Amino acid sequence: MSDQPAAKPPRYRSATLVEGTIRATTRSFLYALGQDDEDIARPHIGVFHTGGEMSPCNLNLREQAQHAKTGIYAAGGTPHECPVVSVSDGLTMAHSGMRFSLVSRELIADSVEASVRGHQWDGIFAIGACDKNLPGLMMGIVRCNVPGVFVHGGSALPGQMPGPDGRDLNVVDTYETIGQVLAGQASTEELAQVSHACLPTAGACAGQFTANTMGMVSEALGLAPIGSSMLPAVFSERAPLMRRTARQLMAAVQASLTGGGPLPREVLTRQALENACAVVSATGGSTNAALHIPAIAHEAGIRFHLDDVAEVFARTPLIADLRPGGRYLARDVHYIGGAGVILRELLAGGYLHGQALTYTGRTLAEELATAGAPDGRVVRPIDQALSRDGGVAVLKGNLCPDGALLKTAGLKTLVHTGPARVFESEEEAQAAVQALRYQVGDVIVIRNEGPQGSPGMREMLGITALLYGQGVGDKVALLTDGRFSGATRGLCIGYAGPEAVAGGPIGLLQDGDIVRIDARPEARSISVDLSEAELARRAAAAARHQRPPLGGVLEKYAATVRPAHQGAVTHSGGVVWLRDES
């Protein structure tokens, strides 16, 4: 017999919570939750979701979380359901409530951190489906750096236009029909038909808008199961997906005890971030992804800003024909095999880093080995790409030195020159557009809506959809230091940096200044016909924009938020683990 003492079994993080005499009261709380000693001895997993009745995106997430909890328990874990806050973009559009949308991303990440670190959970299973839920939950997983997995809760099914038309509808059709009504091109009865029919089920908005874009991003980052993001929210297949993913998470938790499985910050590498940018570009995804990917990178201590995003966008072809710029919806991607089809085609073309790890411990290439091939309609082969340089562009010039974002997928023209029509807020611009107080050829400028200036960086889908509904979506341009929705289409340039309140040139524009936009691959520029001397003169004479007192969360946000090109994050990233992988 050996004289060596027996090796101690690996210790879960949650042992801090439950072991020893001093933790008897903690065990009492767990008994009161319905756990017994066997349950308490298991690894404890936080099941985070944004379920609730604040939007259709969130409506059935708690039901999906129950299947995740079943899978966790069956695989040897003890689940703890942890609902977190959510703010609906749909219910906050075009009014002051939109200021809280981007703020909610930080609240979600902070909530995950507080719960995981406070309760010493051993792992994280996160489920979100509204625009800011997805990045917020992924940020929380990476920040906490315990074994974790994210699953997009899925999109809604499209509606259908009543009558012989029978075309697919989504919520953007309602926004654009509002514009048609205001322009006298549609009746209020038609608007009522569309608004009743466009969103028939629970789930995220059906096109390649922000939620579905970030769902694909979660797969490309290695934080989500391949094939999970495009599965509609109401399909029964979601139940086994959640249970299967829970088993994979529990395997990762067990592997982490002996150093055998990757933790989130080992998955979230520069290669993974470039993969995420590639899938955004290849699908004509939401410009908001260029705000969220740098924020997720920040949680891993990686400096990955808008310029890094721009490099990947410029070299990645557009191969998916998805709305709003294209023809198809998330449901259609699911029917041809899911996001894995897109990722595998990008990998085969040399546009992805296949050696990047995933939460399972396998490489992305290994996870994609069984993915299907493009169908030729929804997703095209690389050699039949819709565009060689992707569907999202970053523009720079003397008007936006830090960059601005434009979704180019589906645009008929990439060049526009016209006089500025300047508004100091979204409300001013919306009132003018509703009253048709603009001219064809104008560049409508909406400022003081950046992360700090708004604060909260409001989203302008209401205005862009009105313009399309009025039939001028491709005849005017928009520029803002705020955001545009993933559902936005047209020559709509957002995230202009620096923002107006930070002294950006957008804050110096006057009505009539000539703005030149050239989004062609060889240019990617946005400028104003003013000399450096004139810009400097205006800057010296400019008065600081005054906003009313904020109070509460907006005041804290405005005091801490960083610029959009850095992801609009609100903390330093942590000196202990900050690294630059460039």
Active site amino acids: 485
Q: At how many degrees (to 10) do helices 270-282 and 289-299 cross?
A: 170
Q: Identify the residue whose tokens are 């004139």.
A: 534
Provide the 3-class DSSP secondary structure of residue 459.
Answer: strand
Among 426, 429, 391, smallest CA distance to 207 is for 391
Cross-strand pairs, 48: 82, 126
Side-chain half-sphere of 83: how many Cα atoms within 13 Å?
Answer: 15
CB distance 86 to 133 below 8 Å: yes
DSSP letter assigned to residue 480: E
Pairwise CA distance, residues 539 & 519, whole Å: 27
Largest CA distance in the chain: 92
CB distance 293 to 277 below 8 Å: yes
* Amino acid type, 354: G
Pairwise CA distance, residues 231 & 145, whole Å: 27
Among 247, 57, 238, 37, smallest CA distance to 137 is for 57
Pairwise CA distance, residues 509 & 500, whole Å: 10
Tokens of 440: 């064809």
Among 342, 335, 325, 343, smallest CA distance to 285 is for 325
End-to-end CA distance of the chain: 53
Rg, the chain, Cα only: 24
Pairwise CA distance, residues 330 & 210, whole Å: 12
Q: Where are the alpha helices (DSSP H) in 316-443?
A: 330-335, 339-348, 364-367, 426-434
Tokens of 276: 């995420």
Tokens of 207: 């096109």
Q: Where are the beta strands (DSSP E) in 387-481?
A: 392-397, 400-407, 415-423, 443-446, 477-480
Query: Which sign does the torsion angle of CA 229, 230, 231, 232 carry?
Result: positive
Q: Identify the residue whose tokens are 């559902």.
A: 487
Pairwise CA distance, residues 287 & 407, whole Å: 6
* Cα distances (Å, whole numbers) of residue 72 to 44, 75, 171, 222, 229: 9, 5, 35, 20, 20
DSSP letter assigned to residue 23: G
